[in-house]
Amino acid sequence: MIEYMDDITSEDRERVKFLTLISSSKNEFDKLSLEQLARLEELLEKKNYSHDKKADKTKTKFLKRINVRIYELTEGRGIWG
């Protein structure tokens, strides 16, 4: 078990921190800054979830959600309103 803990990188911890935060509430996701969203997108894209179909599907959903939110922030409005 100790050896496994050594394999956890600072990026893994950062990614898990973001995912825990945004999974807890949609409001928390909406509070993320453009820089935080870009960082989360980068961290998710780096991680390979191909061994877990459900996790890979969730990753894809989060990346879509991040891209929509980045668009909303850069365009100054929501897509539907």
Q: What is the pLDDT of residues 28-47, one digit of tens each?
A: 998 999 999 999 999 999 99
Question: What Cα–Cα distance (Å) separates residue 42 from each residue in 18, 28, 78, 80?
Answer: 12, 19, 23, 26
Tally of domains in the chain: 1
81 found inside a domain: no
pLDDT for res 80 = 58
Q: Which domain holds residue 38?
A: 2-75
Could you say which DSSP state residue 13 is in?
Answer: H
Q: Is the pLDDT of residue 53 over 70?
A: yes
53 found inside a domain: yes
**H or E stretch covering 53:** helix 53-75
Question: What Cα–Cα distance (Å) separates residue 37 from each residue in 7, 16, 49, 50, 70?
Answer: 25, 14, 19, 22, 7
80 found inside a domain: no
| Confidence band of 17 (pLDDT split at 50, 70, 90) | very high
| Confidence band of 10 (pLDDT split at 50, 70, 90) | very high
Q: What is the pTM of this model?
A: 0.79
